[in-house]
Structure 1
Amino acid sequence: MALNLFSAHIAYLYTELPLLDRIAAAAGSGFTAVEHPQPFAIPATEMRRELARHQMVLSQIAAGTGDASKGEKGLAALPGRQADFREAFNRALDYAIAVDCPFVHPMAGVATNADVSAVTETYHRNLSYAVDRASGTSVKILVEAISEAAVPGYFMSTLDHASRIQDVFGPGNLSLLVDTFHARANSVELERWIPSNVHRIGHVHIADHPGRHEPGTGSIDFEALLTALVEHGYEGAIGFEYIPSTTTVVSAAFLPRWRKFMAAKFKQMRQDRRPA
């Protein structure tokens, strides 16, 4: 696992700062990566330069988020919007390649007024397009189950649904973005889910539940979660997509403890595996 790859979701964190300045702020707090669904206001060359300056990486971006002013939360599952989705995906893929970002997340969206079979077919066709376009590049495709509690009507709201979608394409082509807040909202205990499903995970999002604030503000046992990830060989980034209950800098005070905890878990795991 990339032990130090803790990724700040800078659409949620450091929002008092201009977008570009959030990278330096995240580095100052101890994050070693950033992510943002739509970072395109920063040209790829400038993003790459700023990431290198702070020894950071861009861990994942989204594609086809749609028009937020119209309540859109993605285009991939919306019948009749295939051309818009493909244009947005191509832009995101080109950007990801240019900045060495490993994942693009085509967001499914809310299609409550459309026929379910048409929505399902549209989503599969658009994911097929995304997987095919990313094939042969350094970029892989992510999909995320976004809970009904957070986004009513989101097409893919459960990990079971996301896993079935993934099985169509294979974990090598399409990975799951697993979010602790959404999982708990759906009554899923990830420390129990991970042992049989760690091979499915490409990226993890952290937020406590309820409230969607930083770890320690809710009911999730993050030590159990981190232990499960380490012990079952998770090798991706851990992203923090939470709403700070205070300033971002103060809310991120847990990072050194998490790094120390995970280092101890890795050390113990290596010792346990050492031949007698």
Structure 2
Amino acid sequence: MYRFCAGLGHLFTHVTLPERFDLALDSGFDGVELTLPYDYSVSEMASMREHSGANVVGFTAPVGDFMTAGEGLACVPGRQLEFRESVGVALEYAGALQADWVHFVVGRCGDPALRADYLDVLVDNFDFALEAFAGVTTGVVFEPLNRRDFPGFLVSSPAQAREVIARVNGPLGCIFDTLHLGVEGIDPAREIADHAACFAHLQLADTPARQTPGSGTLDWEGFYQALANSAYNGWIGAEYHPGNEHSEDLDWLTTARSILNA
């Protein structure tokens, strides 16, 4: 039985974050995932989780200047201390949220000639994060992001992600996002059929503009069939921008459940 979670950075954004927890569960989702919860204290986030009773599937660790088009933290030479501080913050929130995983955003490399150096830093930083989280139940994950929306992103495909996973010392997970794959010209159905074991979490959005599944260019029936036939058995996250501010366009959820749980 597949379980679905609502990405609260994209859905139910017309209400406050505490209200989104309840709306997600009332709308038929089994859990939630968060982006950057740091506008709220650790205790406030713990209260939201406890009050709603929601499973918090995952959240994003601090990203430095990444959201303002900077390089970020995880792969950038000279920012290792900042990255280690972000690991400490993420550990605190992981405990409060009782999250399954925390996502460390890889970041950008401003100079392609320095790619190898940035990859070395990324591997070292992931090794540090994996060691820090080894004693807790929250796992460490990362995600390849497409180069159209995130120019210079260091890891832009699942194949590149697998190369990073092969170099680290620990159970590093990868996020599968249909939007990023589609924009990069990668068939999501083929990717999940061939490499399901690589992925710790799956996120759904249509191309080309992260819209509601079924409203864009991806073959959703083909993808759901491939997913149902694959070895993937983790959470499925809704990470799209609804077409209507006050309606989350949830017909796709009924369709997905009917195919995946047949």
- 1:26-76 CA deviation, whole Å, 9 max, x = no partner? 122211211112113333444344334433211111123113563236310
Alignment partner, residue 74 of structure 2: 76
Alignment partner, residue 176 of structure 2: 178
Inter-CA distance 45–238: structure 2 relative to 1 (3 Å threshold): same
Distance 1:123 1:68 in 2: 15
CA contact (8 A) 2:123 2:168 kept: no
1:249 to 231, 247, 250: 247
Runs of at least 5 residues in structure 1 that lack an aligned partner in the other structure? 265-276
2:109 to 108, 111, 115: 111
Distance 2:233 2:51 in 1: 25
Alignment partner, residue 8 of structure 1: 6
Runs of at least 5 residues in structure 2 that lack an aligned partner in the other structure? none
Distance 2:152 2:160 in 1: 14
Alignment partner, residue 129 of structure 2: 130
Alignment partner, residue 140 of structure 1: 139
Distance 1:6 1:199 in 2: 19
Alignment partner, residue 271 of structure 1: none
TM-score (norm 2): 0.91
SS in 2 for 1:239: strand
Inter-CA distance 32–219: structure 2 relative to 1 (3 Å threshold): same
Q: Equivalent residues in 2 for 1:44-123 (5 A)?
A: 44-67=42-65, 70-72=68-70, 74-113=72-111, 115-123=114-122
Distance 1:196 1:248 in 2: 37
Alignment partner, residue 19 of structure 1: 17
Distance 1:256 1:69 in 2: 33
Distance 2:67 2:97 in 1: 28
2:35 to 34, 37, 52: 37
Distance 2:174 2:223 in 1: 16
Distance 2:248 2:157 in 1: 32
TM-score (norm 1): 0.87
SS in 1 for 2:176: strand
Give the deviation of 1:14 after TM superposition. 1.6
Distance 1:250 1:94 in 2: 31
RMSD of equivalent CA atoms: 2.0
Distance 1:46 1:70 in 2: 26
Q: Which amino acid aligns with 1:188?
A: I
- Greater alpha carbon shift after TM alignment, 222-231 vs 134-143: 222-231
Aligned residues: 261
Inter-CA distance 256–69: structure 2 relative to 1 (3 Å threshold): closer
Q: Which amino acid aligns with 2:164?
A: I
Alignment partner, residue 164 of structure 2: 165
Inter-CA distance 185–34: structure 2 relative to 1 (3 Å threshold): same
CA contact (8 A) 1:32 1:55 kept: no
CA contact (8 A) 1:29 1:249 kept: no
CA contact (8 A) 2:175 2:199 kept: yes
Inter-CA distance 250–195: structure 2 relative to 1 (3 Å threshold): closer
SS in 1 for 2:261: helix
